[in-house]
Amino acid sequence: MIEVENLVKVFGSTRAVNGISFTVHDGEIYGLLGPNGSGKSTTMKILAGIIKPTSGKVLVNGLDVSKAPMKIKEIVGYVPETPVLYESLTPVEFFNLIGSIRGIPKDELEDRVNRFVEAFELKSYLHKYIGSLSFGTRQKISLISALLHDPEVLIMDESMNGLDPKSARILRELLLEFKAEGRNIVFSTHVLQLAEMICDRVGVIYNGEIIAEGTVEELKEFAHEENLEDVFLKLTESKDEIYSVVQALKESL
Ligand SMILES: Nc1ncnc2c1ncn2[C@@H]1O[C@H](COP(=O)(O)OP(=O)(O)O)[C@@H](O)[C@H]1O
Ligand SMILES: [Mg+2]
């Protein structure tokens, strides 16, 4: 279970996260949706123990992220927005490095790597330098490296970016499997149809604040809209603006 209470993160004069609270129960996929710059990545980095909050409280399976950042990293798998990889290693070398940092027994590591490599069709890239691989392939390597220690909690920041349709579907099925096993997943995406498909609940974050939260159905009712995209645009005050921008474009053509 993840409990976020009145979380604040300030960078200089920017209040990136401005007092947000939410809870993610076991076996739940929670979607963080919000326009660029609204504070999603900052929130997720705090949940993963990567950066410290300015104030507020975050408990992951009862552990305080500020007090036990190393322990948090053992139970959390974090997939950053932009893959952080070593260009001059091959995927196999990188997975072995992650395995040794994580203390994963060799047989187990090999077994897990093989399963993921097969699922994401990475076999032919295993011995090429990471620096030479495409964005989507790097994204897959980043994903796998976050899953190798079999984390109880998954924090995934726009992790479907760059994945081909088949890999995106495999990842989606994998997330549903993790959910069925009772793990927690926090997920950010701009692909609202995807959020609508897999999230049990979503929080709409805007200017560092959660401005609406609930199941997709609850949000549709709340905003009097028929799909999540319209809900999102209405709540983030973009709907009228988009209409006038498109009108202006039409008139100028
Ligand atoms: N390390 C940082 N230093 C200064 N400002 C930052 C830093 N990280 C994020 N910000 C600022 O915090 C705000 C929220 O950013 P972010 O959490 O990345 O949003 P999102 O992921 O929703 O696009 C933005 O205004 C961004 O410029
Ligand atoms: Mg982001």
Q: Is 38 in the pocket of ligand 1 (CB under 6 A)?
A: yes
Average pLDDT of the segment spanning 170-194: 91
The residue contributing the CA closest to ligand 1 atom 3 is 11
Q: Kindly give the distance from the C-alpha atom of residue 36 to the centroid of ligand 2, in angstroms, as a whole number.
A: 7
- Confidence band of 84 (pLDDT split at 50, 70, 90): confident
pLDDT of residue 80: 93
- Confidence band of 240 (pLDDT split at 50, 70, 90): low
Q: Is 39 in the pocket of ligand 1 (CB under 6 A)?
A: yes
Domain 2-214 coded CATH 3.40.50.300: yes
Residue 205: nearest ligand to its CA? 1
The residue contributing the CA closest to ligand 1 atom 12 is 16
Q: What b-and-e string marks burial along 138-171, b requiring 16 or more CB atoms within 10 Å of the CB?
A: bbbbbbbbbbbbebbbbbbbbbbbbbeeebbebb
pLDDT of residue 176: 93
Best of 13, 17, 42, 236 for a ligand 1 pocket test (most atoms within 8 Å of beta carbon):
42
For a pLDDT cut of 90, what percent of the chain falls above it? 70
Residue 244 has pLDDT above 80, yes or no: no
pLDDT of residue 156: 96
Q: Which atom number of ligand 1 is nearest to the Cα of residue 38?
A: 22
Global pTM value: 0.91
Q: Is 41 in the pocket of ligand 1 (CB under 6 A)?
A: yes
pLDDT in tens, 93-109: 999 999 999 999 999 99
Residue 143 has pLDDT above 90, yes or no: yes
Best of 14, 79, 82 for a ligand 1 pocket test (most atoms within 8 Å of beta carbon):
14
Q: Is 82 in the pocket of ligand 1 (CB under 6 A)?
A: no
Tokens of 238: 């973009």
Best of 9, 10, 41 for a ligand 1 pocket test (most atoms within 8 Å of beta carbon):
41
